Amino acid sequence: MITRFITEVTTRFNPFSVRAKSARLFLAFLPADARSGGMKITTKLLPRTSAEPSALHVKFKDGKEMNLDVENMGIKSVVEEVDRHSRILQKQADLDA
Amino acid sequence: MPPRLRCPAACGFSSAISPSRIPLRSAVLLWSSAPKAPTPAGRYASSQAASPNLLGLPDGYVPPTKPPTARPSDTRKAQLLRTYTSLLRSTPLILLFQHNNLTAVEWAAVRRELNVALSKVPVSSGDGDDVAPNIHLGVIRTRIFDVALKLVEFYDPSTVAPTETTTARGAKTTVVYNHDLSKSAFDAVKAVTSGETPIPESSAYAQLAPLLVGPVGILTFPSVSPAHLAAALSILSPSPPAFPAPTRRKSPGYYDPIAQSGLQKLMLIGGRVEGKVFDVDGVKWVGGIEGGLEGLRAQLVAMLQSAGLGLTVALEGAGKSLWLTMESRRSVLEEAEKGPAEEAPAAETSTADAPAEGEKKE
């Protein structure tokens, strides 16, 4: 996953729900130095009884915001969605350089 | 760590060297009287040393230290499974964390801070002083842990039927092979996995299974000690006001950037306390029990005492109110009885007087 262009990640999930998998795996995909590299990561854990859907909100360097439906998406599709925009940014960065 | 190379000796001497399992060429070399020719591969080296002529072991002999297993027992997975089952059976308090790409130095810093905080917990007389050094934070293999959870919950070793084996001297005995790697344990887990045995919603496995996704670490406590749990929570998942992080002055190491970045990546997701599954709030509730188990007992005693007091008051109250009602009614009746009696003579006198007066008037 290309994480260079992500500036902010906000997640919310109930770990006892089976549908929290994608959100949790997305957090595990972020590199070890993500926070020190300036990425803002906020996680909110919902209580066990809560039926609130899990959510993933990603902000990019160019200001684009993505609200991903992690409840019904697998981690592969989530990464694909995020990478689709990251690749555009990467292309631009390569042309500018 | 067990050896990762499998050798046939692991399956039991006699089965490894039984002629049916050895290819013809090797068998010729193995059973030939002269041991001058080396075996083609090192594979049979141990078998040759343990030829049946030297050991004199009967057919079907199973060494007691190597009971038969459903899958190879000398793999890392198998031994990990045994570790996890014994951990799950013996550990009353387990906290589950998600760890997102912590580096080795960050793990070291987190463990250091955890140990510092745990060593500061005052030792109570009931717990003994061996709780803090036996609290460990480690990473688990989730798939094997999942199998171990199933094994602990759905496999009952006491129901396994004994099997007949041969001792080293050739006598027949019955032995129960009900260890965690045995065929019966394997079948029990397989039945659960394939859906043959339904998994009840209320089982701890059904509740814990969604947590075992992605990178998971566990913090294990040798006993349910809320004081130690509170100390661990204040480091790993601080939440003021109940579990505040240590102050900068008291433990500067906690504010070390490496420790902080490690702690940011650790995320408490749940816990298992005495076989029951708790979420983050539940774990915090357990950590917040004042005075540990003794404190909880004291609370219970106080509650029962006050309940008893309330009960006696309530029971007494009914009788008392009845008595009061009856008593008041009695006094009313008495008064009513007394009242007319006192008035009646007066009336009689008046009526008696009246004619007298009338007579007087007449």
CATH code, B92: 3.30.70.1730
Q: For residue B165, which of B156, B155, B175 has the smallest C-alpha distance?
A: B175
Residues contacting residue A94 through CB under 8 Å, at least 6 positions apart: none
Let me know if residue B308 belongs to a domain.
yes
Q: For residue B149, which of B212, B213, B197 has the smallest C-alpha distance?
A: B212
Q: Which two tokens stand for residue A24?
A: 């949790």
pLDDT value, residue B23: 52
Last residue of a domain, one of B273, B289, B305: B289
Residues B247 and B319 in one domain: no
pLDDT value, residue B8: 52
Q: d(Cα A19, Cα B357) in Å, to the nearest integer?
A: 107
Q: d(Cα B349, Cα B218) in Å, to the nearest integer?
A: 101
pLDDT value, residue B114: 95
B127: phi then psi, degrees, rounded to nearest 5: -80, -25
The per-residue DSSP string of B131-192 comes to: SGGG-EEEEE-HHHHHHHHHHHHH--GGGPPPEEEE-TTS-EEEE---STTSHHHHHHHHHH
Beta-carbon separation of B213 and A25 below 8 A: yes
How many angstroms separate the Cα of A32 from the Cα of each of A6, A82, B156? Answer: 14, 18, 42
Residues B248 and B190 in one domain: yes
What is residue B91's three-state secondary structure?
A: coil
Q: Is residue B103 within 8 angstroms of chain A, CB to CB? A: yes
Residues B165 and B279 in one domain: yes
Let me know if residue B71 belongs to a domain.
no
Let me know if residue B165 belongs to a domain.
yes
pLDDT in tens, B109-133: 999 999 999 999 887 655 566 889 9
What is residue A27's three-state secondary structure?
A: helix
Q: Is residue A3 within 8 angstroms of chain B, CB to CB? A: no
Contacts of the segment B165-170: beta carbons below 8 A, 24+ positions apart: B165/B60, B165/B61, B165/B62, B166/B58, B166/B59, B166/B60, B166/B61, B166/B62, B167/B61, B168/B57, B168/B58, B168/B61, B169/B58, B170/B58
Task: Look up the domain containing B35 and give its range.
Answer: 8-55
In chain A, the domains with their CATH numbers are 6-96 (3.40.30.10)
pLDDT value, residue B240: 85
Residues contacting residue A36 through CB under 8 Å, at least 6 positions apart: B261
pLDDT in tens, B170-229: 888 899 999 999 999 999 999 999 988 889 989 999 999 999 999 999 999 998 888 899
pLDDT value, residue B10: 47
Q: d(Cα B166, Cα B98) in Å, to the nearest integer?
A: 49
* Most distant CA pair in chain B, distance: 166
Residues B139 and B259 in one domain: yes
Residues B236 and B94 in one domain: yes
Residues B20 and B130 in one domain: no
pLDDT band at B302 (very low <50, low <70, confident <90, very high): confident
Considering its fold, how many domains does chain B have in total? 3
- Whole-structure pTM value: 0.74
Let me know if residue B359 belongs to a domain.
no
Alpha carbons within 13 A on the beta-carbon side of A2? 15
Q: d(Cα B299, Cα B285) in Å, to the nearest integer?
A: 15
Residues B119 and B264 in one domain: yes
Residues B211 and B296 in one domain: no
* A 47-86 → B contacts, CB under 8 A: 47-48
**Is residue A18's pLDDT more than 50?**
yes
Q: What's the gap in Å between the CA of B138 and the closest CA on chain A?
A: 17
Residues B93 and B110 in one domain: yes
Let me know if residue B193 belongs to a domain.
yes
pLDDT value, residue B126: 57
Residues B44 and B151 in one domain: no
Residues B269 and B317 in one domain: no
| Chain B interface, best mutation among A13, A16, A35, by max B CB count within 10 A | A16
pLDDT value, residue A31: 95
pLDDT value, residue B59: 81
Let me know if residue B108 belongs to a domain.
yes
Task: Report chain A residues whose CB lies below 8 A from the CB of B264.
Answer: 35, 41
pLDDT value, residue B305: 84
Q: Which two tokens stand for residue B89?
A: 């059976």
Q: A40: nearest CA in chain B?
A: B264
Let me know if residue B342 belongs to a domain.
no
- Looking at residues B312-325, what average pLDDT do you find? 82
Let me know if residue B280 belongs to a domain.
yes
H-type helices in chain B, by residue range?
A: 13-16, 24-31, 45-49, 52-55, 76-90, 104-119, 142-154, 183-194, 204-208, 226-236, 257-265, 280-287, 292-361
Beta-carbon separation of B98 and A36 below 8 A: no
pLDDT band at B16 (very low <50, low <70, confident <90, very high): very low
Residues B218 and B263 in one domain: yes
B168: phi then psi, degrees, rounded to nearest 5: -65, -25
pLDDT value, residue B1: 63
Structure ipTM over 0.85, yes or no: yes
